[in-house]
Amino acid sequence: MKFVSWNVNGLRAVCGKGFADIFSDFDADFVCLQETKLQQGQLDLAFLGYTSYWNYADKKGYSGTAIYTRRSPLSFSYGIGIDEHDHEGRVITLEMEDYYLVCVYTPNSQDGLRRLEYRMRWEDDFRNYLTELSQRKGVIVCGDMNVAHQEIDLKNPATNHLNPGFSDEEREKMTAMLEAGFIDTWRMQHPSEAKYSWWSYRMSARERNVGWRIDYFLVSGQLRERILSTDILNDVYGSDHCPVELVLND
Protein backbone atom coordinates (compact mmCIF):
# COMPACT_ATOMS: atom_id res chain seq x y z
CA MET A 1 0.00 0.00 0.00
CA LYS A 2 1.75 3.13 -1.26
CA PHE A 3 1.27 6.72 -0.10
CA VAL A 4 2.83 9.77 -1.75
CA SER A 5 2.77 13.33 -0.41
CA TRP A 6 3.84 16.42 -2.35
CA ASN A 7 3.70 20.16 -1.79
CA VAL A 8 3.12 21.21 -5.39
CA ASN A 9 3.32 24.98 -4.73
CA GLY A 10 0.53 25.71 -7.18
CA LEU A 11 -1.16 22.75 -8.85
CA ARG A 12 -2.04 24.60 -12.05
CA ALA A 13 1.62 25.47 -12.56
CA VAL A 14 2.73 21.88 -11.96
CA CYS A 15 0.15 20.64 -14.46
CA GLY A 16 2.18 22.51 -17.07
CA LYS A 17 5.29 20.63 -15.97
CA GLY A 18 4.16 17.06 -16.60
CA PHE A 19 2.09 16.42 -13.49
CA ALA A 20 -0.15 13.85 -15.17
CA ASP A 21 2.84 11.69 -16.15
CA ILE A 22 4.43 12.12 -12.73
CA PHE A 23 1.16 11.11 -11.07
CA SER A 24 0.94 8.01 -13.24
CA ASP A 25 4.54 7.06 -12.38
CA PHE A 26 3.74 7.24 -8.66
CA ASP A 27 1.32 4.29 -9.05
CA ALA A 28 0.22 5.11 -5.51
CA ASP A 29 -2.92 4.15 -3.64
CA PHE A 30 -3.06 7.65 -2.13
CA VAL A 31 -1.55 10.89 -3.44
CA CYS A 32 -1.75 13.78 -0.97
CA LEU A 33 -1.08 17.33 -2.18
CA GLN A 34 -0.41 20.55 -0.33
CA GLU A 35 -0.39 24.19 -1.40
CA THR A 36 -2.68 23.54 -4.33
CA LYS A 37 -3.52 27.29 -4.45
CA LEU A 38 -6.92 26.65 -6.01
CA GLN A 39 -10.54 27.62 -5.59
CA GLN A 40 -13.34 25.21 -6.38
CA GLY A 41 -13.97 24.97 -10.12
CA GLN A 42 -10.61 26.37 -11.21
CA LEU A 43 -9.17 23.01 -12.25
CA ASP A 44 -10.78 19.80 -13.44
CA LEU A 45 -8.11 17.17 -12.88
CA ALA A 46 -9.33 13.59 -12.71
CA PHE A 47 -7.40 10.33 -12.95
CA LEU A 48 -8.94 7.00 -13.92
CA GLY A 49 -9.58 4.85 -10.87
CA TYR A 50 -9.12 7.67 -8.36
CA THR A 51 -11.55 9.71 -6.31
CA SER A 52 -10.37 13.12 -5.13
CA TYR A 53 -11.08 15.25 -2.05
CA TRP A 54 -10.29 18.97 -1.91
CA ASN A 55 -10.04 21.50 0.89
CA TYR A 56 -9.84 25.07 -0.40
CA ALA A 57 -8.70 28.15 1.49
CA ASP A 58 -11.10 31.06 1.77
CA LYS A 59 -8.32 33.30 0.45
CA LYS A 60 -7.83 32.96 -3.30
CA GLY A 61 -4.57 31.49 -4.57
CA TYR A 62 -3.47 30.43 -1.09
CA SER A 63 -2.76 27.18 0.73
CA GLY A 64 -5.16 24.30 -0.01
CA THR A 65 -4.88 20.51 0.15
CA ALA A 66 -6.11 17.54 -1.87
CA ILE A 67 -6.10 13.73 -1.69
CA TYR A 68 -6.45 11.35 -4.63
CA THR A 69 -7.32 7.82 -3.58
CA ARG A 70 -8.07 4.57 -5.36
CA ARG A 71 -9.42 3.08 -2.11
CA SER A 72 -12.83 4.11 -0.84
CA PRO A 73 -12.88 5.75 2.60
CA LEU A 74 -15.53 5.10 5.20
CA SER A 75 -15.80 8.85 5.72
CA PHE A 76 -13.95 12.10 5.12
CA SER A 77 -13.67 15.49 6.80
CA TYR A 78 -12.06 18.87 6.26
CA GLY A 79 -10.24 20.86 8.93
CA ILE A 80 -9.84 19.97 12.60
CA GLY A 81 -13.07 21.36 13.99
CA ILE A 82 -11.62 24.63 15.31
CA ASP A 83 -12.82 27.74 13.50
CA GLU A 84 -9.55 29.65 13.97
CA HIS A 85 -7.73 27.02 11.93
CA ASP A 86 -10.32 25.90 9.41
CA HIS A 87 -10.40 28.72 6.84
CA GLU A 88 -7.07 28.03 5.11
CA GLY A 89 -7.75 24.61 3.59
CA ARG A 90 -4.96 22.94 5.53
CA VAL A 91 -6.28 19.51 6.57
CA ILE A 92 -8.14 16.61 4.97
CA THR A 93 -8.87 13.40 6.87
CA LEU A 94 -9.94 10.13 5.30
CA GLU A 95 -11.20 7.40 7.59
CA MET A 96 -10.27 3.96 6.31
CA GLU A 97 -11.18 0.62 7.87
CA ASP A 98 -8.21 0.38 10.22
CA TYR A 99 -6.52 3.79 10.05
CA TYR A 100 -7.00 7.49 9.41
CA LEU A 101 -5.07 9.28 6.69
CA VAL A 102 -4.48 12.97 7.39
CA CYS A 103 -3.04 15.33 4.78
CA VAL A 104 -1.73 18.58 6.30
CA TYR A 105 -0.14 21.83 5.19
CA THR A 106 1.22 23.33 8.40
CA PRO A 107 1.19 27.14 8.67
CA ASN A 108 4.52 28.84 8.00
CA SER A 109 5.78 31.07 10.82
CA GLN A 110 6.78 33.64 8.17
CA ASP A 111 9.66 36.09 8.06
CA GLY A 112 10.67 37.41 11.43
CA LEU A 113 8.56 34.64 13.00
CA ARG A 114 5.66 37.08 12.89
CA ARG A 115 3.13 34.23 12.82
CA LEU A 116 4.89 32.10 15.42
CA GLU A 117 2.32 32.72 18.15
CA TYR A 118 -0.45 31.46 15.90
CA ARG A 119 1.74 28.55 14.78
CA MET A 120 2.17 27.46 18.40
CA ARG A 121 -1.61 27.35 18.92
CA TRP A 122 -1.99 25.42 15.67
CA GLU A 123 0.65 22.89 16.74
CA ASP A 124 -1.06 22.14 20.05
CA ASP A 125 -4.52 21.91 18.52
CA PHE A 126 -3.38 19.76 15.60
CA ARG A 127 -1.45 17.40 17.88
CA ASN A 128 -4.53 17.04 20.08
CA TYR A 129 -6.63 16.30 16.99
CA LEU A 130 -4.25 13.54 15.88
CA THR A 131 -3.97 12.10 19.39
CA GLU A 132 -7.74 11.83 19.64
CA LEU A 133 -7.88 10.03 16.29
CA SER A 134 -5.13 7.64 17.40
CA GLN A 135 -7.22 6.53 20.35
CA ARG A 136 -9.68 5.02 17.87
CA LYS A 137 -7.38 3.47 15.25
CA GLY A 138 -4.00 3.97 13.59
CA VAL A 139 -3.12 7.38 12.11
CA ILE A 140 -0.97 8.28 9.10
CA VAL A 141 -0.27 12.00 8.81
CA CYS A 142 1.63 13.43 5.87
CA GLY A 143 2.48 16.74 4.33
CA ASP A 144 4.57 19.86 4.48
CA MET A 145 4.97 20.34 8.22
CA ASN A 146 7.20 23.39 7.80
CA VAL A 147 9.87 22.37 10.29
CA ALA A 148 13.29 20.76 10.07
CA HIS A 149 13.32 18.81 13.30
CA GLN A 150 17.02 18.10 13.77
CA GLU A 151 20.24 19.65 12.52
CA ILE A 152 20.65 16.73 10.11
CA ASP A 153 17.40 17.82 8.46
CA LEU A 154 18.85 20.91 6.79
CA LYS A 155 22.10 21.77 5.07
CA ASN A 156 23.03 24.85 7.12
CA PRO A 157 21.62 24.58 10.65
CA ALA A 158 23.94 27.14 12.23
CA THR A 159 23.01 29.99 9.91
CA ASN A 160 19.30 29.11 9.98
CA HIS A 161 18.85 28.92 13.73
CA LEU A 162 15.79 31.00 14.70
CA ASN A 163 14.65 31.27 11.08
CA PRO A 164 11.11 30.12 10.18
CA GLY A 165 11.06 26.32 10.15
CA PHE A 166 14.09 25.96 12.39
CA SER A 167 13.18 27.98 15.47
CA ASP A 168 13.54 26.31 18.84
CA GLU A 169 9.80 26.61 19.39
CA GLU A 170 8.85 24.84 16.15
CA ARG A 171 11.37 22.09 16.69
CA GLU A 172 10.09 21.55 20.23
CA LYS A 173 6.56 21.11 18.90
CA MET A 174 7.76 18.36 16.55
CA THR A 175 9.48 16.73 19.51
CA ALA A 176 6.17 16.92 21.39
CA MET A 177 4.42 15.25 18.45
CA LEU A 178 6.88 12.36 18.52
CA GLU A 179 6.63 12.10 22.30
CA ALA A 180 2.84 11.83 21.88
CA GLY A 181 3.44 8.50 20.12
CA PHE A 182 3.98 9.42 16.48
CA ILE A 183 6.90 8.08 14.46
CA ASP A 184 8.94 10.00 11.89
CA THR A 185 9.03 7.14 9.39
CA TRP A 186 11.90 8.44 7.25
CA ARG A 187 14.17 9.14 10.21
CA MET A 188 13.31 5.77 11.76
CA GLN A 189 14.53 3.99 8.65
CA HIS A 190 17.37 6.41 7.81
CA PRO A 191 18.76 7.51 11.19
CA SER A 192 21.93 9.14 9.87
CA GLU A 193 21.10 10.09 6.27
CA ALA A 194 20.80 13.72 5.21
CA LYS A 195 18.27 14.02 2.41
CA TYR A 196 16.08 17.01 1.68
CA SER A 197 12.58 17.68 0.37
CA TRP A 198 12.60 21.48 -0.09
CA TRP A 199 15.02 23.94 -1.64
CA SER A 200 14.82 27.71 -2.00
CA TYR A 201 14.42 28.99 -5.54
CA ARG A 202 17.28 31.38 -4.83
CA MET A 203 21.01 30.89 -5.39
CA SER A 204 20.63 27.58 -7.27
CA ALA A 205 19.89 25.88 -3.95
CA ARG A 206 18.49 22.70 -5.49
CA GLU A 207 21.37 22.30 -7.91
CA ARG A 208 23.76 22.64 -4.96
CA ASN A 209 21.50 20.49 -2.74
CA VAL A 210 21.26 23.19 -0.09
CA GLY A 211 17.93 22.02 1.24
CA TRP A 212 15.67 21.21 4.16
CA ARG A 213 13.64 18.11 5.07
CA ILE A 214 10.27 19.57 6.02
CA ASP A 215 7.91 17.06 4.36
CA TYR A 216 6.98 14.07 6.47
CA PHE A 217 5.09 10.86 6.91
CA LEU A 218 4.33 10.30 10.59
CA VAL A 219 2.46 7.25 11.82
CA SER A 220 1.01 6.42 15.21
CA GLY A 221 2.67 3.66 17.18
CA GLN A 222 0.17 0.95 16.33
CA LEU A 223 1.28 1.12 12.66
CA ARG A 224 5.03 0.81 13.33
CA GLU A 225 5.25 -2.86 12.38
CA ARG A 226 3.51 -2.21 9.04
CA ILE A 227 6.19 0.20 7.75
CA LEU A 228 7.93 -1.40 4.76
CA SER A 229 9.81 1.47 3.13
CA THR A 230 10.18 5.24 2.97
CA ASP A 231 11.66 7.48 0.31
CA ILE A 232 12.29 11.10 -0.60
CA LEU A 233 11.81 11.38 -4.35
CA ASN A 234 14.27 14.18 -5.05
CA ASP A 235 14.56 13.29 -8.73
CA VAL A 236 10.98 14.55 -9.25
CA TYR A 237 10.81 18.22 -10.29
CA GLY A 238 8.01 20.70 -10.82
CA SER A 239 7.89 22.39 -7.42
CA ASP A 240 10.34 23.77 -4.85
CA HIS A 241 9.45 20.62 -2.87
CA CYS A 242 9.86 17.04 -3.98
CA PRO A 243 7.43 14.21 -3.13
CA VAL A 244 7.92 11.88 -0.18
CA GLU A 245 6.75 8.28 -0.07
CA LEU A 246 5.63 5.69 2.44
CA VAL A 247 4.86 2.03 1.78
CA LEU A 248 2.94 0.04 4.40
CA ASN A 249 2.12 -3.62 4.63
CA ASP A 250 -1.54 -4.11 3.79
CA atoms within 13 A on the CB side of 171: 17
Phi and psi angles of residue 126, each rounded to the nearest 5 degrees, phi first: -70, -40
- Rounded Cα gap, residues 122 and 249, in angstroms: 31
What's the residue count for the chain?
A: 250
What separation in angstroms does the CA of 152 have from each of 29, 187, 214? 30, 10, 12
- Rounded Cα gap, residues 113 and 219, in angstroms: 28
- How big, in percent rounded to 5, are the helix, strand and coil portions of the chain? 25, 30, 45
Which residue among the candidates 29, 144, 153, 215 is catalytic per the annotation?
A: 144
- Rounded Cα gap, residues 33 and 126, in angstroms: 18
Burial of 74 (0-12, 13-18, 19+ CB in 10 A): exposed
Which residue among the candidates 105, 129, 196, 216 is catalytic per the annotation?
A: 105
Other CB atoms within 10 A of residue 36 CB: 27
- Rounded Cα gap, residues 176 and 183, in angstroms: 11
Has 153 been annotated as catalytic?
no
Has 27 been annotated as catalytic?
no
Using only the alpha carbons of the chain, give its radius of gyration: 17
- Rounded Cα gap, residues 66 and 34, in angstroms: 7
Find the largest Cα–Cα distance for the chain.
47
Nearest in space to 101 (alpha carbons), one of 243, 229, 223, 196: 223
Would you please indicate which residues are annotated as catalytic (active-site) residues? 105, 144
